[in-house]
Structure 1
Amino acid sequence: MGRDFSHIARRCERAVVTAYRELRETGSADMPAFTACTTLYRIHHPESSLEEARRLVSEWIDHHVVRGAQTPTEGCDCD
């Protein structure tokens, strides 16, 4: 079924990637899932602009979901 994203160190990144994967697996289209994940990121980081949140979420989804990479990503400085 889905992939385990427990290797992702940042809690916000792991939450975003897991939420995106689960939304897509349960039938959500790409853009509504992306929008929900952008909102989720901004809940973790209310100081983030919408533009920054969209950029990070798209990079994380591309890195972990599309490419299936398990290497660290650039992103926020939180744990």
Structure 2
Amino acid sequence: MGRDFSYITRNCERAVVTAYRELRDVGSTDFSAFGACTALYRIHHPEASVNEARRLVAEWIDHHVVRADPGPTDGCDCD
């Protein structure tokens, strides 16, 4: 349950959530997966600061993975 993230409309958000879940599934630590996903977000959004990327990645992981909430997030302004 909560593993299909196809309902997420933002490509960067879906990529981050999917990458985090897959990294954790193969044994990466939370910290390591979070760092990789922050870097991934910044690849999609090089204009974002590290702090902005960390905040969004943390919000998305909490929303989609921890709480398994399928509703929308505030996220970023891209599609």
**TM-score greater than 0.5 by the shorter chain:** yes
Q: Give distance in 2, aligned partners of 1:63 and 1:51.
A: 18
Deviations 1:5-60 (A, max 9, x none): 00001000000000000000000000000000000000000000000000000000
Q: What amino acid does structure 1 have at the position aligned with 2:43?
A: I
Show structure 2 runs of 5+ residues with no match.
none
| 4+ residue segments displaced more than 3 Å | none
* Alignment check: 8 A CA contact 1:12 1:41 kept: yes
| Number of aligned residue pairs | 79
Equivalent runs, 1:14-53 vs 2, <5 Å:
14-53=14-53
RMSD: 1.2
Q: TM-score, normalised by structure 1?
A: 0.97
Q: Distance in 1 between matches of 2:76 and 2:69?
A: 18
Structure 1: gaps (5+ residues): none
2:2–2:68 Cα contact (<8 Å) kept: no
